[in-house]
């Protein structure tokens, strides 16, 4: 079995939460592709990740929503190289990066208003565009 994935000192994905399967990769590789299973399917049970706060767990669920399999586990694949061990390490890095991204609290947006000068600039551009488009119109019959 594989080792635990350590994200930070407090957060880790235990080995029991991971399941690894090697399958045949697609793409170039000639005869090697048909013989050797180098692609890695790494499945992670998100509920078993240790050290996540409730808010971080909610962010992780949102980030991983489109990568979940039928049982609700995170599915990460890697077929970057023709080497199974390197693909496994790449998949583990992807999981580590995803969990680390969930740990980062997003900055709260402070609503702002455009300045009076910015508002006037925008209206001036609208007036000039309007004038340009009016010049394209056909002249009226009373001219």
CATH number reported for the structural domain that contains residue 12 in this entry: 3.30.160.20
* Residue 113 domain flag: no
pLDDT for res 43? 92
Residues of the chain with confidence (pLDDT) below 70: 1, 29, 143
CB 13 within 8 A of CB 49: yes
* Residue 94 domain flag: yes
Give all strands (DSSP E) within 1-143, no chain letters: 5-6, 12-13, 18-23, 39-44, 74-78
Domain that holds residue 94: 5-103
* Residue 132 domain flag: no
CB 102 within 8 A of CB 52: yes
pLDDT tens digit sequence for 3-43: 888 888 888 888 888 888 888 888 776 777 777 888 899 99
* Residue 131 domain flag: no
CB 112 within 8 A of CB 91: no
């Amino acid at each position: 079995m594989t080792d635990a994935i350590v994200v930070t000192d407090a957060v880790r994905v235990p080995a029991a939460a991971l399941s690894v399967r090697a399958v045949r990769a697609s793409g170039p590789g000639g005869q090697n592709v048909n013989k050797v299973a180098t692609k890695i399917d790494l499945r992670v049970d998100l509920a078993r990740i240790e050290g996540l706060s409730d808010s971080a767990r909610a962010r992780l669920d949102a980030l991983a929503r489109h990568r979940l399999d039928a049982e609700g586990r995170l599915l990460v694949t890697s077929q970057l190289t023709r080497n199974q061990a390197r693909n496994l390490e790449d998949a583990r890095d992807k999981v580590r990066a995803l969990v680390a991204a969930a740990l980062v609290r997003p900055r709260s947006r402070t609503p702002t208003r455009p300045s009076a000068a910015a508002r006037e600039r925008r209206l001036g551009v609208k007036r000039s565009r309007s004038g340009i488009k009016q010049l394209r119109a056909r002249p009226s019959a009373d001219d």
